[in-house]
């Protein structure tokens, strides 16, 4: 039996279709938001004056989660939309709690990889 699962990103601001997930961090917390091209552009334009005046943080001991686990947004290898849909379907079939969108917990990804 063939199965086709499609994942559609929803813009977290306006509920329309999103084209990308934007990762950012502030005050030691990392965030991700699904945005359309227009809203992603607005976010980047709003941050531009602050980015121009900022310097990149060095990673290393004592720098919080990012220092221990590498640069923000690189804790887990990037998963394609197709892989994400497959993992979510597998997780649901095996009674793992998984949301319809957003990042999939690392333990669920590992369980999927171990099973396949």
Domains in the chain: boundaries = 1-75, 77-116
Asked if residue 88 lies in contact with residue 6, where contact means CB atoms within 8 angstroms, the answer is no
Asked if residue 12 lies in contact with residue 32, where contact means CB atoms within 8 angstroms, the answer is no
Asked if CATH classification 3.30.60.230 holds for the domain at 1-75, the reply, yes or no, is yes
DSSP track, 10-52: B-TTTSSB--EEEEEEETTEEEEEEE-HHHHHHHHHHHHHHHH
Q: For the structural domain made of 77-116, what CATH number should be given?
A: 4.10.320
The token pair that represents 40 in the structure block: 């992603």
The whole-model pTM stands at 0.48
pLDDT in tens, 30-85: 899 999 999 999 999 999 999 888 888 876 555 454 444 444 444 456 778 888 88
pLDDT in tens, 15-25: 999 999 999 89
Nearest one of 114, 112, 102, 93 to 21, comparing CA atoms: 102
């Amino acid at each position: 039996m063939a199965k086709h699962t499609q994942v559609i990103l929803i813009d977290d601001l306006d509920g329309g279709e999103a084209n990308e997930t934007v990762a950012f961090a502030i005050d030691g917390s990392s965030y991700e938001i699904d945005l359309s091209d227009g809203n992603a552009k607005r976010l980047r334009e709003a941050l531009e004056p602050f980015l121009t005046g900022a310097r990149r943080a060095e990673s290393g001991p004592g720098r919080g989660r990012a220092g221990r686990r590498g640069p923000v947004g690189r804790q887990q290898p990037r998963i394609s939309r197709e892989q994400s849909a497959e993992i979510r379907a597998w997780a649901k079939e095996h009674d793992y709690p998984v949301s319809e969108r957003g990042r999939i917990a690392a333990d669920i990804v590992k369980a999927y990889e171990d099973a396949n």
